[in-house]
Structure 1
Amino acid sequence: MPAIPTIRRRMLGVELRALREGLGHTADEMAQRLGWHQTKVSRIENGRSGVRLNELEAMLDLYGLTDIEVREGLVNLVKEGKGRMWWTPYADVLAERYASYIALETEASSKRTYEMTLIPGLLQTPGYTRAVISALTPGARPEVVDALVNVRLARQSATLRRAVPLNLWAVVDEAGLRRSIGGAQVMLKQLQHLLEASEEPNITVQVLPFASGGHAGLMGSFTILQFAIRNDLDVVYTESDVSNIRLERQSDLATYSQVFDKLHAAALSVASSRKFILHVVKDLQ
């Protein structure tokens, strides 16, 4: 699997960019002085390329960083970024963009998500997940489907059952509740699980009913990942027809944060959302 931009790699990139900008040089200028390809420094800074320890030392020497404690901290980020992650055993079935997403999700402190057609992945039951994967990957071998279901369950464990669980705020369109994926019994278990999950202190679920009419989320599903370490690591993922698109500019983050604020304002309250889900459950029984 190609290198994954974990939060540690992105942290390193942010620190290296700050050092370079403090000297008043461009990334291309520094790459040239290091004898590297002109885009290498930029790719390291944005977390899309890893860096070897000897390369890091060369950068820090060029940037004039002499503080031993700071240097050791940056070296440790490289070492930690090379560690084995929980999804490594599934490397042969994970697309790079999906692995990149779960690498960041695993270390996020909070997640705000709007789902237009499905139950959010972190709140899915195994049966529902299997039905979704089977629909999205027709003809996939059973062992591949099994592996992808296991990845989804592992994602839930890595985020919602860790020592400090992820704060999840999900706005779910009514279509996600009404669409019968996997059949009535699968949907019944899924909605019951959604009700149970919504009672957890770190999970907020709101329903955006059809009756709300036109709304800011009509452009499609999206997710905002936030990190406790520093807010310039926050990222937005949007869904296209073929992939997830990662947006990191502050303007994009501000735009999607405003959209999410409008969505949760238009959605039912938490208490009313639970009543609405219960109503859908009764329709299935």
Structure 2
Amino acid sequence: MWRRWLAFELTRLRKAANLEQKDVAKALRCTTAKVSYIENAERSIMLRDLEEVLLPLYSVPAEKWPKYVQAARDSRKRGWWESYDSDALPDWFSLFVGLEQGASQLRVYEAQLIPGLLQTREYAHAVSQRGPVEREQEQIERHVEVRVGRQEALCRKAKPLRLWVVLDEAALRRVVGSPQVMRDQLRHLAELMRKPKVTVQMIPFEQGAHPGMVGRFQILDFPWPGDPGVAYVEHLGGAVYLEGPGEIAAHVIAFEHLCALALSPDDSVKMVESIAKEYS
């Protein structure tokens, strides 16, 4: 979270000072690529570089320095997810988990699966077993642990994550694991849908074609003013993180259209509960 905030702030300060990344690289005696990594939150800033170079270079008032220094310290703390190896949590997804844990709101469109934050352990286990990557049993267990650990963001005491999901009916109809696993998953989903910070809307088959048919996506929003957020699109080999204004706007518009086509939250709960009974 703090790495994201600090990266956003350092970019803002550089632009306010009318400096290019190459100017910052010259002051830091590093490559422009390193400056880009810092501003994209892919690498933490060294405290010495921040205090001796960047804050003076950007003419930041001395009374504001402690806020940036503390953010730099906090950004270097390892998150719980970083203790997992790449078999359980690839680098490209570790970045997403870090962003997800620091986000204030997550908007999700999914067509085929119940999203990870809403999955039961048994459903997550079945998904991992049949995923695009072949995993040993131990790797599957670690993969499920990560997925369950991510769900803590929904019930954390300090500002729980606001989750808004649009699901295609196919995600409820596709039998993952077994009919019993699906029954328990849909009952669990219906319970979560009644939580104040969780909104789930269903798109029934009869709605026909819709903007989500090109594939699933997620939009992450962050708690500080001015941050445009991130659009996240996953594929078999990794993921794409989209941060351009036009790219984010396209996904926001698509999500709004999907919400308009979907059932209301109350009718969506009824649909989930009805299909859960079919699995009984």
TM-score range, shorter chain: over 0.9
Retained in 1: the 8 A contact 2:117–2:151?
A: yes
Question: What's the CA shift for 1:190?
Answer: 0.3
Question: What's the CA shift for 1:210?
Answer: 1.1
Query: Among residues 40, 45, 49, which one is paired with 1:55 in the alignment?
Result: 49
**Secondary structure of residue in 2 paired with 1:39:** helix
Mapped pair 1:41 → 2:59? no
| Residues in 2 aligned to 1:9 and 1:62: alpha-carbon distance in whole angstroms | 20
**Secondary structure of residue in 2 paired with 1:170:** strand
- Give the alignment's TM-score, normalised by structure 1: 0.92
Question: What's the CA shift for 1:64?
Answer: 4.8
Question: What's the CA shift for 1:135?
Answer: 0.6
| Residues in 2 aligned to 1:235 and 1:179: alpha-carbon distance in whole angstroms | 29
Amino acid at match of 2:242: L
Deviates more, 1:70-79 or 1:259-268: 70-79
| Residues in 2 aligned to 1:219 and 1:232: alpha-carbon distance in whole angstroms | 27
Question: What's the CA shift for 1:59?
Answer: 2.7
Query: Among residues 186, 199, 206, which one is paired with 1:191 in the alignment?
Result: 186
Question: What's the CA shift for 1:66?
Answer: 5.2
Matched residue, 1:22: 16
1:216-241, Cα deviation, whole Å (9 max, x unpaired): 11111111111121242511111223
Count, aligned residues:
278
Question: What's the CA shift for 1:83?
Answer: 1.2
**Secondary structure of residue in 2 paired with 1:232:** coil
Question: What's the CA shift for 1:107?
Answer: 1.3
Mapped pair 1:82 → 2:76? yes
| Residues in 1 aligned to 2:200 and 2:243: alpha-carbon distance in whole angstroms | 25
Amino acid at match of 1:23: A
Retained in 2: the 8 A contact 1:19–1:63?
A: no
Question: What's the CA shift for 1:89?
Answer: 2.7
Where structure 2 has 5 or more consecutive residues not aligned to the other structure, the ranges are none
Matched residue, 1:96: 91
Amino acid at match of 1:271: D
Where structure 1 has 5 or more consecutive residues not aligned to the other structure, the ranges are 1-6
Q: Structure 1 pair 11/233, CA: closer, same or farther in 2 (3 Å)?
A: farther
Question: What's the CA shift for 1:61?
Answer: 5.3
Matched residue, 1:143: 138
**Secondary structure of residue in 1 paired with 2:15:** helix
**Secondary structure of residue in 1 paired with 2:32:** coil
1:83-103, Cα deviation, whole Å (9 max, x unpaired): 131213323431011111111
Matched residue, 2:253: 258
Matched residue, 1:4: none
Q: Percent identity?
A: 37
Cα RMSD over matched residues?
A: 1.6
Mapped pair 1:228 → 2:223? yes
- Give the alignment's TM-score, normalised by structure 2: 0.94
Amino acid at match of 2:272: I
Q: Structure 1 pair 137/220, CA: closer, same or farther in 2 (3 Å)?
A: closer
Retained in 2: the 8 A contact 1:172–1:205?
A: yes
| Residues in 1 aligned to 2:108 and 2:60: alpha-carbon distance in whole angstroms | 42
Retained in 2: the 8 A contact 1:195–1:274?
A: yes
Question: What's the CA shift for 1:46?
Answer: 1.6
Matched residue, 1:239: 234
Mapped pair 1:208 → 2:203? yes
Amino acid at match of 2:75: G
